[in-house]
Structure 1
Amino acid sequence: MSNQPEQQAPPVQRLRVRYAKRGRLRFTSHRDFSRAFERAVFRARVPMAYSSGFNPHPRISYAGAAPTGSASEAEYLEIALAEVVDPARIHAALAEALPDGLDVLEVVESPGGALADLLQASRWRIELDRPAEEVAEAVRRFLAEDAVPVERMTKKGLREFDCRAAVVALGSEPVSGDRPGAALDLVLRVTTPAVRPDDVLTGLRQVADLAPEGAPLFTRLAQGPLTDEGSVGDPLSR
């Protein structure tokens, strides 16, 4: 008779974590981050709940991870615990255990329900090395279109989809300093298939021939429920 896997006790508490990816750490892939986070909860001695089976693993649920190469101020995950603890204690322990650039911003107790269901939209800042007038004209022409089909290679092959339909709001402003040019302020609705900020840049190039010479800098500023006014709410607010 084969040995049966050990059954783990159910979690007694769930915490939701907001964290940032900054600087060079924006190039961390989701897989690399998940490994770094598992090491961090071990070093921080977080009383994690574990899955049952022959290969138990800490119960961590990731939601809405930003594409590799994008900075973010609004990444989210949920952890399940075997003990009831003060969220502030976990915040401090994780902040000390994670490397600079993967920064814990907030830890709160989960009210229940699925975190992923709250992540309905994202707000992005995209810095471009093009004149502000040129970017503003491209935005105007993009928003005037009813549909902007683009193509992207996915795991299921080359897909065509309408990137215009996912855009809730799009504006631009001039920027100066280390990266003179213009910045896009973009609110994207979560859709299937997912429309990414670089898909919107592809759409801007198609409708207005907007082509940055250098690499754009993508930063996710917010992620959460989509309000009636078209803004992005806080998924951790009660």
Structure 2
Amino acid sequence: MSSQQRIRTWFRKGERVKYISHLDVLRYWERAIRRAGLPLAYSQGFTPHPKLFFASPLPLGFTAEREVMDVILDGRIDPAEFQARLAQQATDDLSLVGAREVPLGAPQPQAAMLWSDYRVIVPGLDPADARQRAESFLASDTLTWREERGERERTYDLRAATAWLTTRPIDGGTELAMRLQSDQHITARPEAILAALFPGFEPQSFVRTGIVLDDRSPARELWRRYGQYL
């Protein structure tokens, strides 16, 4: 039996650190885990790397409520103790909100990503107008969207990449909430929703509120299909 263990964690990224890079986040957690005295595993080779696996790098300027990070340990520990010890080394701006053990052979979070949930505050956007535009978008069959990133250009169906989109009146504007495709085929971004449906409006904030992973396993699929493990 392997002595290694895999802990899946969820963490928040606050306002004060929304402009630090993904590499800085990785280094932060590596140092926090080591300060907590936890047996973090490293890769073999000339330049060992910590075995930390993230669902997806968060864009600069975004905050987050439940980012996903898998931690491989060279020893076993109760997930509750892992979380408690690591919490003592973390800050309010980058802090754990959950931890549980997952199988060592489970797909890495990035490979298992399906959707990302976002909340966007848009000052000056009339709630009634926002609701009407959102409903019209959701009622449409397709919305071809083209975007450029550097020298790369891609075209995809933004409507198909949107599971849901809601609007809520807030003081001075509208809050948008959405679930967007974030798998190996398409990564839709909330900026595209803003540009396509609400051109001319500048967001006050972007928050990734959650990440949906494909947690299917052969045993779980049998249970869902037949109501029992076979």
* TM-score, scaled to structure 1: 0.80
Contact 1:11–1:80 (8 Å) recurs in 2: no
106 and 190 in structure 1: CA distance in 2 versus 1, 3 angstrom threshold:
same
From 177, 193, 201, give the equivalent of 1:200. Answer: 193
For residues 153 and 31 of structure 1, the distance between their equivalents in structure 2, rounded to whole angstroms, comes to: 24
Measure how far apart 1:111 and its partner are: 3.0
Do the aligned residues in 1 keep the contact of 2:122 with 2:204 (CA within 8 Å)?
yes
Question: How far did 1:164 drift?
Answer: 1.5
User: Where do residues 56-95 of structure 1 align in structure 2 (5 Å cutoff)?
Assistant: 56-95=48-87
User: Equivalents in 2 of 1:141, 1:21: separation in Å?
Assistant: 33
Q: Which of 200, 204, 211 is the aligned partner of 1:216?
A: 204
Task: Give identity over the alignment, percent.
Answer: 29
| 1:157 maps onto 2:155 in alignment | no
Aligned to 1:45: 37
Q: TM-score, normalised by structure 2?
A: 0.82
User: Could you say which residue in structure 1 is the equivalent of 2:141?
Assistant: 146
Counterpart code for 2:207: T
Partner of 1:233: none
Secondary structure of 2:147 counterpart: strand
Say whether residues 1:123 and 2:117 are aligned partners. yes
* Count of aligned positions: 210
In 2, the alpha carbon distance for the partners of 1:193 and 1:50 equals: 31
Q: Which deviates the most, 76-85 or 157-166?
A: 157-166
Quote the Cα distance in structure 2 between the aligned partners of 1:211 and 1:11: 55
AA in 1 matched with 2:25: F
Cα shift readout 1:32-68 (whole Å, capped 9, x = no counterpart): 2112111212222211111111111221111123322
Q: What is the rounded CA distance, in whole Å, between the counterparts of 1:154 and 1:199 in structure 2?
A: 12
Unaligned runs of 5+ in 1: 1-9, 228-238
- 2:203 maps to a residue whose letter is A
Is 1:114 the equivalent of 2:107? Answer: yes
Contact 1:149 1:203 in 2 (8 A): no
Q: Retained in 2: the 8 A contact 1:174–1:183?
A: yes
Runs of 4+ in 1 over 4 A off after TM superposition: none
- Greater displacement, 184-193 / 161-170: 184-193
Distance in 1, matches of 2:88 and 2:162, equals: 37
Which consecutive residues of structure 2, in runs of 5 or more, have no partner in the other structure? 216-230
Contact 2:116 2:179 in 1 (8 A): yes
